[in-house]
């Protein structure tokens, strides 16, 4: 695989999602090595980015999640260094990491997303509960993996949920609950892969960090159980949502259907997980790509 030259697999980092990123990066590294790629681990938490030049690397596979890896910061640094990298560019990465600005852009572009309001310490929490209705999802706007997220089901508890979320981000979003199934759509190049329907165990209030990475009783349905017309419509919606943010290369878009079958976009992920519990590899398998082939296809986009 001399055509790729020397590849840095960027993993770990300093965000709250570091453990997930280490798992993703090590899985990607092993897959590339199995295929003869001259790949090496590179953890920006303990290495200077100048080592990328000093080490004569030719390109970077970004397997970082969260802040300083998925939010445009690393993408901008690599642009300045003149190194090709996987995934979206600076703008799309920054937008995709920010759930609030993602929703603003989608709504301005005429795409469906659930109603929301932004919270701060001076918010009238009782009025927000009345405005959005219960349940309400409360999320740090710029965190991933459901970190700091909670579901408010009891009147008078929105303030406590805000206090939890604001520990992780100064921007906190309260979002109207959509009563229906959750789906994810992986994007590879210009193609939306088969939908996956997510079904957390009955004792989970929602698809949280534990359900994503630690539990083995979360169910993933692919095929998702939709009609072909509905599946194709949601794939098109996900591609439109990804493109509106400026997404490139690969990524993931999460959405829900309400009880009437109407779709609502939740968020976009421009550097999705690549662990044994991750959704993009699962969708790729359904489309006929094993994990090694998926990693190579993502890397090929840097040529």
Active site residue 217: no
Residue among 66, 72, 144, 273 flagged as catalytic: 273
Give the pLDDT confidence score for residue 290 in this predicted structure: 96
Catalytic residue among 93, 269, 271, 278: 269
Q: Which two tokens stand for residue 116?
A: 């929301």
The conformation of residue 126, written as its DSSP 8-state character, comes to H
Question: What burial letters (b/e) apply to 251-274, b meaning 16+ CB within 10 Å?
Answer: bbbbbbbeeeeebbbbbbbbbbbb
| Structural domains in the chain, sorted by start | 2-86 (3.40.50.20), 96-112+178-300 (3.30.470.20), 116-176 (3.30.1490.20)
Give the pLDDT of residue 275.
Answer: 84
| Residue 228: CB atoms within 10 Å | 8
Structure token pair of residue 224 = 């998702």
Smallest Cα–Cα separation from 212: which of 202, 223, 201? 201
Q: Which of 247, 254, 271, 278 is catalytic?
A: 254
Distance of CA 200 to the CA centre of its chain: 18
Residue 254 is among the residues annotated as catalytic for this protein: yes
Q: Note the pTM of the prediction, 2 decimals.
A: 0.92
Instruction: Return the closest-CA partner of residue 219 out of 183, 188, 251, 194.
Output: 183
255: which 2 tokens? 């959405």
Q: 98 an active-site residue?
A: no
Catalytic residue from among 15, 145, 271, 278: 145
Catalytic residue among 213, 247, 249, 264: 213
pLDDT of residue 209: 52
Instruction: Identify whether 252 is a catalytic site residue.
Output: yes
SS (H, E, C) 235-268: HHHHHHHHHHCCCCCEEEEEEEECCCCCEEEEEE
Residue 213 is among the residues annotated as catalytic for this protein: yes
Catalytic residue (one of 142, 267, 271, 278): 267
Name the catalytic one among 13, 208, 252, 278: 252
pLDDT in tens, the chain (303 residues): 799 999 999 999 999 889 999 999 999 999 999 999 999 999 999 999 999 999 999 999 999 999 999 999 999 999 999 999 999 999 999 999 999 999 999 999 999 999 999 999 999 999 999 999 999 999 999 987 678 899 999 999 999 999 999 999 999 999 999 999 999 999 999 999 999 999 987 754 555 555 444 546 789 999 999 999 999 999 999 999 999 999 999 999 999 999 999 999 999 999 999 987 899 999 999 999 999 999 999 999 999
Concerning whether 269 is annotated as a catalytic residue, the answer is yes
Distance CA 135, CA 161 (A): 12
pLDDT of residue 144: 72
For residue 153, give Cα distances in angstroms to 56, 104, 182, 188, 241: 54, 25, 18, 37, 29
Residue with tokens 């219960």: 134
Catalytic residue among 12, 13, 15, 17: 17
């Amino acid at each position: 695989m001399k055509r790729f030259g020397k590849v840095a697999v960027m993993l770990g980092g300093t965000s709250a999602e570091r453990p997930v990123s280490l798992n993703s990066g090590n899985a990607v590294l092993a897959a590339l090595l199995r295929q003869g790629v001259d790949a090496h681990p590179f953890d920006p938490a303990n290495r200077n980015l100048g080592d990328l030049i000093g080490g004569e690397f030719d390109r970077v596979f970004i397997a970082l999640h969260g802040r300083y890896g998925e939010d445009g910061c690393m993408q901008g640094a690599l642009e300045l260094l003149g190194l090709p990298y996987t995934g979206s560019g600076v703008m799309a990465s920054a937008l995709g990491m920010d759930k609030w600005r993602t929703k603003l852009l989608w709504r301005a572009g005429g795409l469906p997303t659930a109603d929301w309001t932004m919270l701060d310490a001076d918010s009238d929490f009782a009025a927000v509960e009345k405005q959005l209705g219960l349940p309400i999802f409360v999320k740090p706007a710029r965190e991933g993996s459901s970190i700091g997220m909670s579901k408010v089901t009891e009147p008078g508890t929105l303030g406590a949920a805000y206090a939890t979320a604001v520990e992780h981000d100064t921007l906190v979003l309260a979002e109207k609950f959509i009563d229906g199934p959750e789906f994810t759509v992986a994007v590879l190049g210009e193609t939306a892969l088969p939908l996956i329907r997510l079904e957390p165990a009955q004792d989970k209030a929602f698809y949280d960090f534990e359900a994503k990475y630690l539990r083995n009783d979360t169910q993933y349905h692919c095929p998702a159980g939709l009609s072909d017309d509905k599946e194709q419509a949601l794939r098109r919606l996900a591609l439109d949502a990804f493109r509106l943010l400026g997404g490139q290369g690969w990524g993931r878009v999460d959405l829900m259907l309400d009880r009437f079958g109407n779709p609502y976009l939740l968020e976009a992920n421009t550097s999705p997980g690549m662990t044994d519990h991750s959704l993009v590899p699962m969708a790729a398998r359904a489309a006929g790509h094993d994990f090694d082939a998926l990693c190579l296809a993502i890397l090929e986009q840097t040529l």
